[in-house]
Chain A
């Protein structure tokens, strides 16, 4: 498998208000491979956004190395590497630069000097990928949060990135907007094999991931497949994370002495286990 991004013993501190240093990311190690979907979870202030900023060169590590596409990120290759990474942030309003949908999608293309003749098809193509092709001339204040976030994704896709980072891109959306965005990203990843790193509080998103990274107080605490992660229910709850409803119910049932087997991530899995459990006795 080809490596897309790796963090090698990366640490970063912010200057705190009293003049001292505060570790936001502490000795973090992990590798992301081509085509993977990684979810990063953790409590508020656990260093997730700082990680995202380190990946895209908004911050440089104090210790350790950040490698993107096998190159160590530095001042010289920064802009070239950035043009291959798309990133979408939390607040839908604050990342909408253009005055209309199509202007916003073209923003990165303009910055990277893509000629006009090529911009037009790329803008249309990216908007089609997020199901927003009918909104070319819409202004941002006439769009819902979910639509704005999809436009932001289209803006990232227009550069044909190899890696898409979502930093809590769905956390300010209503359930419907969140579903729209998740669905679009899921479809993209299946169709194009795009590598996705999604920083999230949303457990549905975690379930879609190939691998989950759990951050606690700037440190990488756990990593593994979603079902492996949710098997550590106590640990997750002790750092203030909620399990998905089905996983929590499954654990509570087992604690209550009901004889069910294995971990259950979704309600469907749990229901299947429950109605067949009687035959398995």
Chain B
């Protein structure tokens, strides 16, 4: 179940979208999220949907893979759609079958909101699917760099992010090991009352925390002896490389906004 879930996961590849600079992708997704709210009629929502499908196509993500991975979220979207169908009572009556009455406005609102939700989820998923977490961190760091002037510790936050990402698999392995060790001692995590189950988790968490602190201490020492003194005077090994294609992405975004503004208003 969890392996199938792709929200927030990275799948390496070599498409146009994969090769974009993380900064242009981040900027694009951030601005896209705002631009989605420009849509207010069938034409604009259709445009958003077509545009998003186009991006999926360019990123060479298989639709089946994508929608299969987003199943839980799709259920949520369909649920929203149905709620609108049933509870919005405006406009012409479309279906009148026993106690079920579906109105035109309900259908419209439901579809609009679902498309809005869908394109937002799809766009952010495309971002994380095509950009490694470390590139996202790098991109964030550079984009937020101007905020250093207002004393936001941008470098430190980015380093924290990248170290956490680096240690996720390590701590997962460790959790697994501790879990097995406790199971071997006869601890039972799957039955009993809620209270008993919570109590059974404690012997799992305590060793995990102890070892995480030990790791943190070792890591701090390893960083210090390798000359880490904060962001001041540090150079960067990971270089970001803004290419023509990144400028193109921004231009494409501006065109999308222009089209949205041109098409919106009235029905």
Contacts and interface: CB of A to CB of B under 8 A. Distances in A.
Binding between chains A and B: yes
Contacts of A230: none
Contacts of A123: 237
Contact of A97 (B222, B233, B235): B222
Contact of A116 (B133, B134, B163, B236): B236
Interface stretch (B92-100, B145-153, B213-221): B213-221
Interface stretch (B20-28, B81-89, B164-172): B164-172
A106 B228 CA distance: 12
Given A93-B170, A99-B165, A56 B225 contact: yes
Contacts of B166: 96-99, 139-140
B237 A89 contact: no
Interface stretch (A1-9, A62-70, A79-87, A219-227): A79-87
Contact of B234 (A82, A98, A113, A159): A113
Nearest to B230: A111
A79 B229 CA distance: 9
A94 B222 contact: yes
Contacts of B52: none
Interface of B is mostly: helix
B218 A94 contact: yes
B226 interface: yes
A132 B239 CA distance: 22
Nearest to A106: B237
Given A106-B237, A111-B226, A123-B237, A97 B219 contact: yes
Interface string B233-248: 1111111000000000
B223 interface: yes
Interface string B70-88: 0000000000000000000
Interface residues of B, number: 29
B217 to A, nearest CB: 8
Contact of A108 (B163, B221, B226, B236): B226
Interface residues of A, number: 38
A112 interface: yes
A141 interface: yes
Contacts of B221: 58, 89
A220 B163 CA distance: 39
Contact of B227 (A82, A96, A103, A141): A82
Most central of B221, B223, B224, B237 by chain A CB within 10 Å: B237
Contacts of A99: 133-134, 162, 165-166
- Listed residue (B133, B166, B223) with the most chain A CB atoms within 10 angstroms of its CB: B166
A94 B211 CA distance: 11
Interface of B: 133-134, 162-163, 165-166, 169-170, 173, 214-215, 218-219, 221-229, 233-239
Given A94-B214, A123-B237, 8 more contacts: A82-B227, A91-B215, A99-B133, A107-B223, A115-B235, A116-B236, A116-B237, A119-B235
19 contacts: A85-B225, A89-B222, A93-B170, A97-B223, A97-B226, A99-B134, A103-B134, A108-B227, A110-B235, A110-B237, A111-B226, A115-B235, A116-B235, A116-B237, A119-B235, A119-B237, A140-B166, A140-B169, A141-B173
